[in-house]
Structures are given as C-alpha cells and as structure tokens.
Amino acid sequence: MSIRERIAAANERAADCIVESDPAWVDIMPAGEIVEGLEDHMILHSGPPIGYEDMCGLHKRGMISGALFEGWAASEEEADKMIKAGEIKISTALDHNTVGAGTGIITQSVEMMVIEDRTSGKRAATFPAEGPFQGGLCGWGLYSPEIAENLRFMREELFPVMREMIISMGGLPIKPILAEGMQMGDENHTRQTAADLLFDKKVLPFLFRMDQEKDRILKVIEYIVETPRFFHCYGQGASKAALMAAEDVEWSTMVTAVGGNALEFGIKVAGLKGRWFTAPAPMMKGRYTSSRYSEKDQLPWIGDSCVVECAGMGGLAAAASPIVCNLRGMKLEESIALTREMEQICIKKNHNFSIPNLDFDFLPVGIDIRKVLKTGIAPEIHGGMFNHEGGLIGAGSARVPMECFEKAMVAFAGEYSE
C-alpha cells in the first residue's frame, strides 16, 4: 500500500469510530475515579498545555478555586504558592478522557457525567450543567461560596438520585437524541433546545416511577427541566468517547481534539497521539449578550467544547440550525453553504445525521488536516464568548488557525515518512 492508500484506509477507520459509535450516558462518578490520570492534587484546564505563569487571569483563578474547593489550600495566597511550587500539578483536560468546557477546571471530587461508547468501550467524563442557579457558573470561570455550595448541592442532593436512575435505566443512548435534535434545529454546540426536550421526555417518566422521597425527585426534575443547555455535556462526552477510539488509529490525519486556553489554540491528530499543534488563540466573531460589551471585553478562544465539531456537529452542522446561524448574522442560504464548505475538509458523511435543510443529505464528519491544507478551508467552530473577568458575554464562531494544520502536517510527514 502506498502512503496515500494507508492514510485513506486509516482515515476511513478513524471516521468510522465516530460514525459507528454508540454513546450512552451510563453513570455519574467523581472525577478522581473516572478521569484516567487525574491524580490527587492535580487540576485540569481547557486548551493545549500551558504553564501556570502564562495562564490568563481566568485560568489562574480557576486553578486557585479548584485548590480551595478541594480544601488543599486555606487561602488564595496559599493555593497560588502551592501551584507555583508544583505541590499542585496542572494538566490539560483533553489529554485525559474528559473535555474542559469553558475554563475546564476539573479536580478529583467534582462529579462527572460518564458517557460510554458501547462500540469501542471507551468512557469519557464531562462536567455537568450547573443547573438553573443564577449566581454565576464555575464552568464560565466564576467562583464564590455560593457557586461551591451549588456544586455541593448537585453532588449530595441531586446526583445520588440521578445516579440511581441512570443505572436502573441501564444507560441512556445519546445518539438518537442528537440525531432527532439535529432534525429540529439543534447544531448541538451552541443550541441543544430540542435535545434537552427529548432528554426530558426520556428521563422524567422514569424519575417519576422511582421509589424515592417525592421532594428529592422534584429537586432533580427542576434541575433537569430548568437548566438551559442541559444536554450539552452529553454531546461533548459522546464526541470525546468516539474520538478516543479514533486516537488509536495510526496513519490517520483526522483531527481528534481542538481547544483553546485564551493564549494558544491547539489541535491533536489521530496518527500523532499525545501531541499538540498550536497557534495563537483566535477571537470569536458573533453577537454579545449586551450592547455594553465589545471586543476589548472578550478573551481569545478558551475551552474545549468544540470537541463536538471534531465529531461532525456544531459549526459543521450549521445547515441544521439556521436559528443559531442567524444569531451570527447569517441567512439560511449561508448556513447551508457553510456545511457544504465543511464537506470539503471532511473524510466522509455521517449517515446517522440526516438533515431536513439539506434535503435529508447527511452531515460531514472527520476533519482531515490534508484536506484543510489543500483547500485552504479551516474548520468553523461555534462557541461562547468569555469576559476577561469570567462569565459569558456572547456567542459566536471562529475558524481554527491554519497554522495548527501546517505544524501537524510537518509532524505527520516526519513521523510517517518511509
């Protein structure tokens, strides 16, 4: 087989890891038990690896918050000192079986949703939605005693009931919900309105049947029903689990991770396991939640949630969601054209995701770094805009920097030259 044939065959296998995946929400577990390699006194963050000194204020504060939340330090000063001294280690979420959505701060006692790809057996863990709680969210880089209390409430009051539920349900298949949701206007990155409702329909009757104190179940129902974008973590977990299977495919030029840490943006490639290829983090373009915000308030790209784009959703699924694209100033025709553009850099089509606005054609899946470089088309990624001080100030999109693909291609040529 020529190199070209080997790569083509590997890419087919890697993309099929996504297409043939069968993700199910199977459990809720503390990060320390489910996230491989997450040690005691270790804090995960989003984006490619970065030193503490180089982190933006939001990531630094996340590190300190994590140390306080775990009780490793008694004060911010002490936490800062311990991290600087290496007594608390830092690591990037995407190098583990998890996803650093937003700031991506994950420590051992945070409870995580466990998604298993029943095709490959891979398990990924994602940080759950923090409920309808209005006091700011940890995932958006904020921290306060109230936020910590909300996390405790989730862990101690909600999740024992939900865990009993999901285990007695025997797991909840994620793909049918993604597929039907994408026929109802979700692109499953910025919008999961339909998926949330389909999820509610599956779990609410089950919760209702449980032999538990009514008041406890009611709290869980309120948490599920009232949380916007509740399903987001499941889409991320399903994507990550499938991409973990693809990471084992040598010779493949398929992208398996993309994410930013506000300083740098990085990608990973299936055939180059464990390596990052980075460029300066791009700024997102889109719409702010208030007219008082402008680009100066906005951090460069931070977060790993575009793992869903690696699995063929979000920006790649623009045609499925003119409602999301309109928020970015796009017309229906442009949203369809965007998915058609993304087809040019993808390995194949995903027969699971048939889209009404594409006259039931399938979404593209599997970003091939060779095709990106050949066409000059960079992947479109959707996401939320962060304020320097934390908090969400808008939603928009960006293109993955071309430099990431250039560096990856050089490395690939070095690794796989005959």
Binding status of residue 169 toward a copy of itself by CB under 8 A: no
Q: How far apart are CA 383 and CA 302, in angstroms?
A: 9
Contacts (CB under 8 A) with a copy of itself, residues 259-288: none
Minimum distance of a copy of itself from residue 331's CB (angstroms): 5
Among 148, 169, 221, 373, binds a copy of itself (CB under 8 A): 221
Among 78, 216, 357, 377, binds a copy of itself (CB under 8 A): 357
Binding status of residue 212 toward a copy of itself by CB under 8 A: no
Is the backbone of residue 274 left (phi > 0), alpha (psi -120 to 50) or beta?
left
In this complex, which beta carbon is closest to a copy of itself, that of residue 278 or of residue 397?
397
Among 1, 2, 292, 359, binds a copy of itself (CB under 8 A): 359
Minimum distance of a copy of itself from residue 364's CB (angstroms): 18
Binding status of residue 157 toward a copy of itself by CB under 8 A: no
**Interface stretch with a copy of itself, choices 37-45, 84-92, 160-168, 215-223 (CB under 8 A):** 215-223
**Interface stretch with a copy of itself, choices 96-104, 194-202, 276-284, 401-409 (CB under 8 A):** 194-202
Q: Which of 365, 361, 310 is nearest to 336 (CA)?
A: 361
Q: How far apart are CA 161 and CA 153, in angstroms?
A: 12
Binding status of residue 185 toward a copy of itself by CB under 8 A: yes
Binding status of residue 323 toward a copy of itself by CB under 8 A: yes
Binding status of residue 194 toward a copy of itself by CB under 8 A: yes
Among 89, 208, 273, 295, binds a copy of itself (CB under 8 A): 208
Among 81, 273, 331, 374, binds a copy of itself (CB under 8 A): 331
> Which tokens sit at 231?
């399903």
Among 81, 84, 89, 201, binds a copy of itself (CB under 8 A): 201
Residue 378 exposure: Cα atoms within 13 Å on the Cβ side: 15
CA-based R_g, the chain, Å:
20
In this complex, which beta carbon is closest to a copy of itself, that of residue 324 or of residue 408?
324
Q: How far apart are CA 196 and CA 218, in angstroms?
A: 17
Among 38, 198, 342, 392, binds a copy of itself (CB under 8 A): 198
Binding status of residue 315 toward a copy of itself by CB under 8 A: no
Angle at 262 between CA 55 and CA 93, to 5 degrees: 75
**Interface stretch with a copy of itself, choices 99-107, 179-187, 262-270, 276-284 (CB under 8 A):** 179-187
**Interface stretch with a copy of itself, choices 12-20, 132-140, 210-218, 390-398 (CB under 8 A):** 210-218
Angle at 29 between CA 147 and CA 276, to 5 degrees: 85
DSSP bridge partners of 378: none
Binding status of residue 200 toward a copy of itself by CB under 8 A: yes
Binding status of residue 109 toward a copy of itself by CB under 8 A: no
**Interface stretch with a copy of itself, choices 63-71, 220-228, 271-279, 340-348 (CB under 8 A):** 220-228
Binding status of residue 3 toward a copy of itself by CB under 8 A: no
Binding status of residue 205 toward a copy of itself by CB under 8 A: yes
Binding status of residue 204 toward a copy of itself by CB under 8 A: yes
In this complex, which beta carbon is closest to a copy of itself, that of residue 20 or of residue 157?
157
> Which tokens sit at 367?
């970003």
**Interface stretch with a copy of itself, choices 71-79, 208-216, 250-258, 406-414 (CB under 8 A):** 208-216
Among 100, 312, 322, 401, binds a copy of itself (CB under 8 A): 322
Binding status of residue 351 toward a copy of itself by CB under 8 A: no
Q: Under the rule (CB under 8 A), what is the footprint of a copy of itself?
A: 183-185, 193-194, 197-198, 200-201, 204-205, 208-209, 214, 217-218, 221-222, 225, 321-323, 326, 331-332, 356-360
